[in-house]
Each structure stands twice: as C-alpha cells, then as structure tokens.
Amino acid sequence: MGDESHANPKRAFLLPALLSMTAGAVDVISFLAFGGLFAAHITGNLVILAAHYITGRFGEIGPLLSVPVFVLVIGVITAVFVRKPISVIRRALLVLQAVLVVFFLGFSVRFGPFADPNTAMAVFVGMLGVAAMATQSALVRLALPGVPATVVLTTNVTQLTIDLARLARGYDAPDDLAQVQRRTSVTLVSVLGFGLGVVAGAILEIHFGLWSLILPGSIALIAIPLAESIGTGVSDCEIHHPVDHGPR
C-alpha cells in the first residue's frame, strides 16, 4: 500500500484547477457546437430541453439523453472502482477521462461541424463529452477527497461565499479556521479554473470550431502525470464510500 502523505499542498491545488478548466472548456464548446448541449453542467440540459419544446431552438435528443448517460457512466465506474486504492482509481479515471476527451475531439473534427444536433452522429459525439465529464465527476468523488466539484460553479460559489464570511467573522476555533482556509483556497482555484476554461473555450470555438477541443484534451492529458507527482495527501488503503453520485 502506497502512502501519499507527503503531497505538496501548494502544487496539489493545480489538479482541481486543471480539472475545472477542462470542464469549463468542454461545457462551453459543447453548448456552442452541439445545439445547446451542456456536457458538464448536466442539469442545465433540462432547461435547454424545456426551451427547445417552447421555442423550437436548440437540440432535443442530446439534452434528453445527457442525464441518463451521465448517471449510467458514474454508476458503472462506481461499481468497478469503489473498493480500489485511491491511487489506482485516480490514475485509471484520469486516463479514462483523457481518452474520452480525445475521442470527443477526434469524432467532432472528423464528422463535424453538426448543422443538426439531433442526428445520430451528433448525439453520439455529444455523449462522449458527457461521458468524459461524468468520469471527471466520479474521479473527484472517489479519488480526490476534500476537492470540491470541478464540473459546476453554483455549489462552489455558494461554499466559497460561506467560507469567506466565516473567515471574515473569525469566530471559529483555530483548527476549524485552518480547515476553512484550505477549503477556501481549493474552492477558489476551482471556480477560477472553470471560469478561465469557459472564456478560453468560447474564444477558441468561435475562431477554430471543434478544433478548440484540443484545449481540454491537452489539459486532461497534462493532468495525468501531474496527479502522479503531487499525490492527494491520503493513504492508499482508505476505503471509499461514495456520496452524491448524481449529476449536478
């Protein structure tokens, strides 16, 4: 059993930042190129679906399938990896996520752009993006204890605001304040990373179309060796009890 207790706490913030950037870029690119499909912010597809039936705009099949595909991928991953050591889960899911993002890029460039997001190929390619983000969500829950969600902003912004208010009041015990400070730092880099990914992804998609997926693909590949070098600060022998597997 490996021991990752000597992880560098400063460098450890890089991984959630990179994962958040990946999700932000994938989300905005999929939205712009696949008829309003949110690959990361899955519950947003319910809004898109309602907008489609009211206005006739946006895609229909992709948003409809995104939630069950997201849940199915997380369910399968959990069943396969739930009792594996953290380092094994982290490495395997980072590789799987990177492979899915690269396939998302490859199929998008080969068969896109998609004038009709409801075609079979457009839906299939869009679901590759959803599967990649589901894998990232499972990765954070199963193998990155203490790291906030990296595929959405709402939950993180809420937690960040609460923690900043607690730090400003300063009523907590010193140990509690130290924990709040650490959580604030990692949540902040996740929020900033997601925002940076969204801005960069949108700019690149406007200028380069589906080739813009090279950005999240490259970041996902970089995250693999980075995770190996920084560890997570938890023991390999920790038993996992996943929480909140559903889409956010």
Model confidence over 185-199: pLDDT tens digits?
A: 889 999 999 999 999
**Which residue has better confidence, 210 or 61?**
210
**Which residue has better confidence, 51 or 238?**
51
Domains and CATH numbers, the chain: 9-230 (1.20.1250)
**What is the arithmetic mean of pLDDT over 237-247?**
39
pLDDT at 7 over 80: no
Q: How many Cα atoms are found within 13 Å in the side-chain-facing hemisphere of 84?
A: 17
pLDDT category at 146 given cuts 50, 70, 90 is confident
**What is the arithmetic mean of pLDDT over 156-177?**
81
pLDDT at 240 over 60: no
Helix (H) or strand (E) holding 224: helix 214-230
Q: How far apart are CA 23 and CA 5, in angstroms?
A: 28
Helix residue spans in 60-114 (DSSP H): 61-81, 86-111
| Inter-residue contact 58 to 36 (CB < 8 Å) | yes
**What is the arithmetic mean of pLDDT over 26-31?**
94
Q: How far apart are CA 19 and CA 141, in angstroms?
A: 13
111-137 pLDDT tens trace: 989 999 899 999 999 999 999 999 999
Structure tokens at 44: 């947003």
Give the pLDDT score at 231: 56
Q: How far apart are CA 222 and CA 198, in angstroms?
A: 18
DSSP structure string for 133-177:
HHHHHHHHHHH-TTPPPSS-SHHHHHHHHHHHHHHHH--S-HHHH
**What is the arithmetic mean of pLDDT over 79-95?**
93
Structure tokens at 239: 């038993």
For helices 61-81 and 120-143, angle between their N-to-C axes, nearest 10 degrees:
40
pLDDT at 244 over 80: no
Average pLDDT for the chain: 84
Of 167, 145, 140, give the one whose Cα is nearest residue 77: 140
Q: How far apart are CA 63 and CA 90, in angstroms?
A: 28
Structure tokens at 156: 């993180």
